[in-house]
Amino acid sequence: MKGVARPREFDEDEVLDRALTTFWEHGYEGTSIDDLVAATGLGRASLYGALGDKERIFGRAVERYCARMGDVLQTVDDDPSARAALGRLLRMLVTKSSPRSGPRGCFLLSTAVGGDAPRAARDAYAEYTSRLERALIALVRRGQESGEFTQEVDADAVARMLAVLLQGIAATARAGRAKAQLEAAIETMLALVARPGR
């Protein structure tokens, strides 16, 4: 009864990745539909047909980025040592912020901090930072209880300060700061909150 449709000539996830990269590099307003057409290789009509209008494409790209970053926070609880877990989390975020190729920094930060991005960007950024902060709070509490971290300052305060530092990492990475300097910053911070021999 029902006919069979012509199949798509592209992989949706791949297209979404290219769209994400383009939005990440040039921002929401700095990316035109023609830019997306050029980056994905699709035709205009196919782009609209498959992913919707510009704001919807952007929302899908946000979702995809969030899915990527969600995996990072998952690995925190694996390590029995809170210090090692914190170090691993911080180093992983630095590595993600300054890849060998591709846009630097944090997509959500860059779009939310910049000009007029759709609400989806700010909402996703707020939720991401909230999750990051909660993970850090749990981690620092664990480190204080185990004696790995200095107990002279409030655990939650230290965790929130770490969350702020990580926003700075993403921002400076975006601005082109060398990866080595970002690493130095987090190692210095680690030395301050969790001195090995104490």
Partner DNA sequence: TCGATTATGGACTGAACGGTACATAATTGG
Partner DNA sequence: CCAATTATGTACCGTTCAGTCCATAATCGA
φ/ψ region of 107 (left if φ > 0, alpha if ψ in -120 to 50, else beta) reads alpha
φ/ψ region of 2 (left if φ > 0, alpha if ψ in -120 to 50, else beta) reads beta
φ/ψ region of 182 (left if φ > 0, alpha if ψ in -120 to 50, else beta) reads alpha
- DSSP conformation class of 3: -
Instruction: Name, in order, each residue with C-beta under 8 angstroms of 20's C-beta and a sequence gap of 6 or more.
Output: 61, 64, 65, 107
Binding site for its own copies (CB under 8 A): 26-31, 105, 109-116, 122, 125-126, 129, 150, 152-154, 157-158, 160-161, 163-172, 174-176, 181-182, 184-185, 187-189, 191-193, 195
When CB distances are held under 5 to 8 angstroms depending on the partner's kind, the choice from DNA, its own copies, none that residue 34 binds is DNA
When CB distances are held under 5 to 8 angstroms depending on the partner's kind, the choice from its own copies, DNA, none that residue 43 binds is DNA
For the bound state, the minimum distance from the C-beta of residue 45 to DNA, rounded and expressed in Å, comes to 3
Nearer to its own copies (CB atom), residue 101 or residue 188: 188
Nearer to its own copies (CB atom), residue 25 or residue 46: 25
**Vertex 130, ends 129 and 136: CA angle to 5°?**
85
Binding site for DNA (CB under 7 A): 1-10, 31-35, 42-46, 48-50, 53-55
For the bound state, the minimum distance from the C-beta of residue 39 to DNA, rounded and expressed in Å, comes to 12
For the bound state, the minimum distance from the C-beta of residue 59 to its own copies, rounded and expressed in Å, comes to 17
Q: Specify whether the CB–CB gap between 8 and 50 falls below 8 A.
A: yes
For the bound state, the minimum distance from the C-beta of residue 37 to DNA, rounded and expressed in Å, comes to 8
Tokens describing residue 127: 């939720």
Nearer to DNA (CB atom), residue 44 or residue 134: 44
When CB distances are held under 5 to 8 angstroms depending on the partner's kind, the choice from DNA, its own copies, none that residue 53 binds is DNA
* Residues making up the chain, counted from first to last: 198
Nearer to DNA (CB atom), residue 28 or residue 65: 28
Nearer to its own copies (CB atom), residue 84 or residue 163: 163
Please tell me the distance from the alpha carbon of residue 16 to that of residue 20, in angstroms, as a whole number. Answer: 6
